[in-house]
Structure 1
C-alpha cells in the first residue's frame, strides 16, 4: 500500500508540473479495495484501478455488495484528461442499491455533456467549475472528485453532473490512526445532506461515511484501515453536526436563562381544560411554571416570546425514529418533534449522536434523543453488525448498549426464538425494557410471553384480527382480501395478553399507508411536495394500479380496523413514523389515529404523555407541567379542534431554545 501511495504521489506531482514528467506519468498507476458496509456490517467490496497515460486518465471500478440476500453490482469506467483531470466520459451500469437501477453514459464535448440515463437522452451545458459523479457510488469516483477539486484550487462550490447538484467541500478534523494521518472533509450536495470522507497525503481516499440510495447508513473503508471503521463513523457524526450548526444557525435563538411564552392557549396534554392567555415560564431549559397569566409571575429579566393567538402543546415525540443522518435533527425540530426514540441504528453512530445531543451547554441541532439498541441474529435478511446467536453474545450486547446510554433493546427479525428470552432477561435485569419486531418463526403472543415489553409495527397484530381465505388447494389465496375477525378467539387472546403484560404498541400506520396508497401519495401526505429534491423520487410511492386498487384498499381497511380494535380495547399506543416522509409523517400518523377513532386529545397523547410514559420518562417529558423539560410546540391553530393543525407549526421550543421552522427546513434542502 505504501508503494502505491508513493507512486501515485509522484504521478500527481508530475501532472502539476505538466509535461516535465510525462514519461513517469505514463507508467504510474494506482489501485485499491474498499470494504463496503451497511449499518457498519461488511457486505461487499469495491476494487478499482487507475491507469494514467499521456492524455487519458482512466478509472475502472467493480462494485458489489449483497444486501439482505440481494446482489447489488455496479461497473464503472471514467476517463479524464491527464493534464487537468477534466472529465471526458463516464459509464456506470448496474445498481446503486437493491431497488435503484443505474444505467448512465456521459460523454463530454467542450462544455456540453451528452447524458443517457435509463434509455433517456439529454444534453446538459456545464457552467462554472464542474465534475462528473452520480451520488455515493462507486466510492472510487469520490476519490477522483477530491483529486480534481484539489487540482483546481479547491473551489468553494462546483456542479456535479448529471444531477446538476451544487457541491461544497469543507475541511474537517484530521485523524491519526496507527501512525497514519488522514485528512477529513465534509461534502454537501452530492447526496441529500452531508457526508464525511478522509484522504491521505497521497490523495487516496481512505474512508467514506455516507448514506446509500435507500437512505441507510453506508460506509466504505480502504482495506488496511478496516479496523478503524468505528472511529470514522464517530468522527463523521461530529464533523456533520459541526457543519449542520453553521447551516441552521439563523433558525435558532439560544436558550435564555429565563424564557416567558406569553398569551398562547395552553393545552398541556393531561386532559385538563385549556388555559387561555397563558404564561409558560422556562428556566434553564425546564418548565418553572405554566398557567393563567394572572397566576404566573414573569421575572423582570425574562426574555418574553409573545405567542398571542397561538396554541401551546408539549413538544412531540417520534417513537419510531431511525436517525440515519444528522440532517434529521432540523427536520424533527421544524416539524415540532422535540424528542425521538431511535429504534435501530449503528452502535458508534447512535452512541456518538446521543452524547452530542445530550450536552447541556450549547447542544447540537436536534431533538432530545433516547435509543433502543438493536440486536439481530445471523441470517440472509440480517441487518447491521450487532448479531447475537448465543446467550453469551446477547449478554455482551445488552451490556454494551446499557453502558452507551440505551434505555431499551430492540429485537430484530432474524433473532432466533430461543435467544429472545435471554435478551429480555438480561435487559430487564439491567433496568431496560425491550421493544422490536416479532422474529421470524414467532408470534406476537410468544414474543410477549418471552418478555418483550413493546412491539413495533401493526403487521404483527393484524393476523389476530383477520384471516386469509384458502384456494382450492388449501393454500392462502393472495388474490382475495383478508376476512375481518374482530371478535374471534384469536383477537380476544391477543388483547388479554397485551393487557396482562401492559404491552405498548407503535403501529407506524403512516408508513404502511405510504406503500398501500390507491391515489397519488402527495394527496395523502402533502409534505411530499416539500422534501429535498434528492429524496422526492425515492419517497414517492406510486398508487396501486387499477387492477390492484380494490385489493390494496381492502387490506388497508383491515389494518385500520385492527388499529381501531386495539385502541377500543385500551391498549397503550404511541406514535412513530419509521422512515416515511421525514418530519411530516408524524402528523399523518396522528391524523390516521383520529380516523381510527381516537379523539384529537388521545392522538396527541400518543405523541406526548403516552410516549414519555412508555419510556419511563413521564416525570421529565410529555406534558407542560412544572419540573419537566422546556419542550413546547406553538401552533397557529387549535389541534384539539382539528388534528391536522399539528402541521401548522409557528415555533418549536426545545429545552428553552426557540426555533423558527422555515430556516430549519431550508437548511436541509426542504421547502418550508
Structure 2
C-alpha cells in the first residue's frame, strides 16, 4: 500500500444523497494538516489536526483542536522525545518509554485518522502495537472499480469499537472512509468520486456481511435433537420471582417440558447444558436502538434478543434484518420504526426528510406498506403537522412516537396524537425552555442544566403527567444515555462503566472518559450532575403514576449500557423483579409479541439468557451473561467477544453433546 505517500485532497461527508460536512487534507515537508467539520441533527464535530509521521508512517507529533460531536472542547497533544512518546487528551495523559515504535490512537480525531492507522499497520506487515495500549490490524480484502478508479478495500480493526473500512487508489491515497458502526452510512469521500458514495457503501456492506457470516458459522451452536438446560432457576414474570431448581427442554426452537428438579433421564441424542444453579430469564428487549451490522452482535452477547430500532438507513436495516431472520448472521429480532423529519438547517439525516406535509404523509404510507411498527417524528417537524400525521398513522395501524418538534411541548404533542414520548430530556423540554429557544439545536441538551431546579410537583408537571395517565402514554426514557451525557467527565468517566470498560478496545475506553456537555465550568457541570438526579426522580414519578417506563439505550451499540439501563430503573425506585418483568414480558406484550416471547413457558420461542446470580435480589447480575439462546440457537458471549476483540466476562456453561460420553440420568 505504499505509493506516492502524498496526503492531500478535498473530501465531503455524505450520507445517502445528503451532504453533511467536509474535510480538507494538505501536506508539505512539515507534516499533514486536516480540517474536518460535520453538521447533522443540530450537532457535529469541528476539528483542526496537524500530524507529523516518521519513515515507518507512525505519527511522531499530533495536535487536535476544536470541538467534539456534542460540543465538548478538544485540545489533544502527542509528541515524541527520543524513544518515548507522551500524550495529553480529554480522556487521559501518559508517557510510554518504548512508544517510538508504537502507533498512537487519538482520542478525538477525524475519520482521516483511520488512513494513518491503516498505512502504519500495513507498513508493519499487517499489525502494529498501539498507544496507549492494544494492537491495530489492517488488511486489504478486495479490489473494486469505483467509476474510473480502481480502489483497494482496506479493513482496520483494533483502533475503535467497530471495524473501519477504507478505500485507497493506486497511489496509496485515501478515496473514502466508512465506519463499521455508522447507522446512516456516513462516508468521508473524496470530492472527485463523491457521486460514487452509494457504490462504496454497497461494497462496505458486502465486506461486512461476509465477515459477519463467517463469525456466525463460528459462534452459533445449533443442536440436533432435544436440548436440556438443567439446574437453573427460572424467572417467572407473572409472579415476579424465581422458581426452585428446574430443568427446561428445548425442541426445534421452542420451549417444551419445564419441570422442577432434574429427574428426566438423558437420551443418547440429547444435548445437556448445565446451568450450574444460575438464573434463566427470557431474552431482554432494548426499546431504543439504532442497529448496525456489527452492533447486532454486541446486543446479542448482552442478552438482548429483541430490539426496537428507532430510525435508521432503511435499506441497510432491511438487508440486515433479512440476514438475521434467515440465520445467516447473528442478531436480535428487530421491530422497525420509520423516521420522518422535515427539511431545516438542523435536519437529521433520514430517508424521509419532507419538504411538505404531503411528503411526510407519503412517508407514513411508505412505512405502513412495509410493515413498520410505528413512525418516529423528529425535531424539525412543524408542530401543526403532528395531528394529521398521527391521525393517518393510527388509521393505518401504526403507533406514533418521537422527539418534540421545536417550539412545542410534550403535553401538546400528546394531545396531537403521540402514543409515547422518546427520551427523558424531551419530556422535560416543555418545562425548562424559555419562549423562542430552539430544541433543534444543542439547547435540547444544554437546557438540562436547569433541571436541577425543576419542581416535579409543579402544576405544569402534574398536568402533563395526568394527561399521560389519562391516555396511557409510556416513556422511552433512555436513562443511561442521559446519565452519560450529563455526568460523564474527562479523565474519570462513569463509575457505572467499571464492570466492562477495561475489557474494551482502547479508543472506546478513552471515549468513555470525556466530558460530553459543551462546558468546563465547574458550577455548570455540577448543575448537569444534579439535573440527572431530577431525571431519576421523574422516572419515579412516571412509574408511580402507573405509566410504563421502557428500557432503551440509544447508545453506541455495545449492549453493556442496557445492563446499566436496568440498574438505573432500580435506582429510581423500581424493584429488581419489576424491572426484569418490564425488560421481558411487559415489553413483549407492549410490542404484540407475548404469544411467542417474554417468558420461559411451554410452546414459546426459545429465546432466553443464562445468568450467574439472582437478578431479583441484585439487578447487577444481569451483567453476568453466560449463554444466550435465540430461536433455539445457543450463543456463548465469550465466543462472540473474542471475535470482536473484547476480553470475555463470564465463562460459558458446560455442554455435553450427543457425541460426548453418555451422562447418567
Match for residue 649 of structure 1 among 622, 625, 644: 625
CA apart distance, 1:62 = 3.6
Output the CA distance in 2 between the equivalents of 1:88 and 1:535.
20
Matching residue of 2:48: 74
Matching residue of 1:394: 360
Matching residue of 1:281: 249
Match for residue 187 of structure 1 among 112, 131, 156: 156
Output the CA distance in 2 between the equivalents of 1:328 and 1:550.
33
CA apart distance, 1:483 = 5.0
Output the CA distance in 1 between the equivalents of 2:459 and 2:261.
54
Q: Are the counterparts in 1 of residues 51 and 59 from structure 2 also a CA contact under 8 Å? A: no
Matching residue of 1:359: 326
Matching residue of 1:172: 141
Alignment of 1:482 onto 2:458: no
Output the CA distance in 2 between the equivalents of 1:159 and 1:494.
55
Output the CA distance in 2 between the equivalents of 1:389 and 1:222.
29
CA apart distance, 1:394 = 1.7
Q: How far does the alpha carbon of each residue in 1:378-407 deviate from its partner, in whole angstroms, 9 at most, with x for none? A: 334432244223123324444554566642
Q: Are the counterparts in 2 of residues 72 and 96 from structure 1 also a CA contact under 8 Å? A: yes
Match for residue 614 of structure 1 among 587, 590, 600: 590
> Is the alpha carbon distance of 1:224 and 1:427 closer, same or farther for their aligned partners in structure 2, counting shifts above 3 Å?
farther
CA apart distance, 1:505 = 1.6
> Secondary structure at 1:598's aligned position in 2?
coil
Output the CA distance in 2 between the equivalents of 1:80 and 1:467.
52
Q: How far does the alpha carbon of each residue in 1:484-522 deviate from its partner, in whole angstroms, 9 at most, with x for none? A: 343x65455434432443322221223333355599764
Matching residue of 1:527: 499
Q: Are the counterparts in 2 of residues 136 and 190 from structure 1 also a CA contact under 8 Å? A: no
Worse-superposed segment, 636-645 or 293-302? 293-302
Output the CA distance in 2 between the equivalents of 1:181 and 1:163.
35
> Is the alpha carbon distance of 1:148 and 1:568 closer, same or farther for their aligned partners in structure 2, counting shifts above 3 Å?
closer
CA apart distance, 1:122 = 4.7
> Secondary structure at 1:203's aligned position in 2?
coil
In the TM superposition, 1:389-538 aligns within 5 A as 389-401=355-367, 406-462=372-428, 481-486=452-457, 490-517=460-487, 522-527=494-499, 529-532=501-504, 533-538=506-511
Match for residue 301 of structure 2 among 334, 337, 358: 334
Output the CA distance in 1 between the equivalents of 2:310 and 2:194.
26
Alignment of 1:208 onto 2:177: yes
Matching residue of 2:238: 270
CA apart distance, 1:247 = 6.4
Output the CA distance in 2 between the equivalents of 1:578 and 1:287.
31
Output the CA distance in 1 between the equivalents of 2:623 and 2:13.
39
> Is the alpha carbon distance of 1:173 and 1:295 closer, same or farther for their aligned partners in structure 2, counting shifts above 3 Å?
farther
CA apart distance, 1:317 = 0.9
Q: Are the counterparts in 2 of residues 342 and 369 from structure 1 also a CA contact under 8 Å? A: yes
Q: How far does the alpha carbon of each residue in 1:440-497 deviate from its partner, in whole angstroms, 9 at most, with x for none? A: 2222122223222221112344478x7899xxxxxx99779535343x6545543443
Matching residue of 1:63: 36
Matching residue of 1:45: 22
> Is the alpha carbon distance of 1:580 and 1:568 closer, same or farther for their aligned partners in structure 2, counting shifts above 3 Å?
farther
> Secondary structure at 1:263's aligned position in 2?
strand
Q: How far does the alpha carbon of each residue in 1:225-245 deviate from its partner, in whole angstroms, 9 at most, with x for none? A: 333434433443443354356
Q: Are the counterparts in 1 of residues 233 and 243 from structure 2 also a CA contact under 8 Å? A: yes
Worse-superposed segment, 440-449 or 201-210? 201-210
> Is the alpha carbon distance of 1:528 and 1:644 closer, same or farther for their aligned partners in structure 2, counting shifts above 3 Å?
closer
CA apart distance, 1:313 = 0.9
> Secondary structure at 1:191's aligned position in 2?
coil
Output the CA distance in 2 between the equivalents of 1:229 and 1:449.
42
Matching residue of 2:348: 383
Runs of at least 5 residues in structure 1 that lack an aligned partner in the other structure:
1-8, 16-27, 470-475
Alignment of 1:346 onto 2:323: no
> Is the alpha carbon distance of 1:397 and 1:195 closer, same or farther for their aligned partners in structure 2, counting shifts above 3 Å?
farther
Q: How far does the alpha carbon of each residue in 1:119-176 deviate from its partner, in whole angstroms, 9 at most, with x for none? A: 9785653577x667747955555446555666x4x7132235x555422123435545
Q: How far does the alpha carbon of each residue in 1:212-260 deviate from its partner, in whole angstroms, 9 at most, with x for none? A: 9x99964212224333434433443443354356668765433545422
Q: How far does the alpha carbon of each residue in 1:16-38 deviate from its partner, in whole angstroms, 9 at most, with x for none? A: xxxxxxxxxxxx97853221147
Q: Are the counterparts in 2 of residues 435 and 453 from structure 1 also a CA contact under 8 Å? A: yes
CA apart distance, 1:319 = 1.0
Runs of at least 5 residues in structure 2 that lack an aligned partner in the other structure:
435-446, 650-665
Alignment of 1:239 onto 2:222: no
CA apart distance, 1:630 = 1.5
CA apart distance, 1:659 = 2.5
Output the CA distance in 2 between the equivalents of 1:115 and 1:541.
19
In the TM superposition, 1:569-580 aligns within 5 A as 569-579=545-555
> Is the alpha carbon distance of 1:434 and 1:298 closer, same or farther for their aligned partners in structure 2, counting shifts above 3 Å?
farther
Matching residue of 1:94: 65
Output the CA distance in 2 between the equivalents of 1:619 and 1:88.
57
Output the CA distance in 1 between the equivalents of 2:406 and 2:22.
29
CA apart distance, 1:616 = 2.2
> Secondary structure at 2:195's aligned position in 1?
helix
Matching residue of 1:18: none
> Is the alpha carbon distance of 1:337 and 1:661 closer, same or farther for their aligned partners in structure 2, counting shifts above 3 Å?
same
Match for residue 610 of structure 2 among 619, 634, 642: 634
Matching residue of 2:127: 157
> Secondary structure at 2:22's aligned position in 1?
strand
Q: How far does the alpha carbon of each residue in 1:596-637 deviate from its partner, in whole angstroms, 9 at most, with x for none? A: 343333211221122122322222322223343311111222
Output the CA distance in 2 between the equivalents of 1:198 and 1:275.
55
> Secondary structure at 2:634's aligned position in 1?
strand
> Secondary structure at 2:588's aligned position in 1?
helix
Matching residue of 1:305: 273
Output the CA distance in 2 between the equivalents of 1:50 and 1:438.
45
> Secondary structure at 2:550's aligned position in 1?
coil
Which structure would you say has the larger Rg?
1
Worse-superposed segment, 289-298 or 504-513? 289-298
RMSD: 4.2
Q: Are the counterparts in 2 of residues 456 and 507 from structure 1 also a CA contact under 8 Å? A: yes
Matching residue of 2:289: 321
Output the CA distance in 1 between the equivalents of 2:589 and 2:427.
22
Q: Are the counterparts in 1 of residues 241 and 616 from structure 2 also a CA contact under 8 Å? A: no
Match for residue 668 of structure 1 among 631, 644, 647: 644
Q: Are the counterparts in 2 of residues 573 and 610 from structure 1 also a CA contact under 8 Å? A: no
Q: Are the counterparts in 2 of residues 390 and 419 from structure 1 also a CA contact under 8 Å? A: no
- TM-score calculated relative to the size of structure 1: 0.79
> Is the alpha carbon distance of 1:281 and 1:345 closer, same or farther for their aligned partners in structure 2, counting shifts above 3 Å?
same
Q: Which of the pair has the greater relative contact order for Cα pairs under 8 Å at 6+ separation?
A: 2
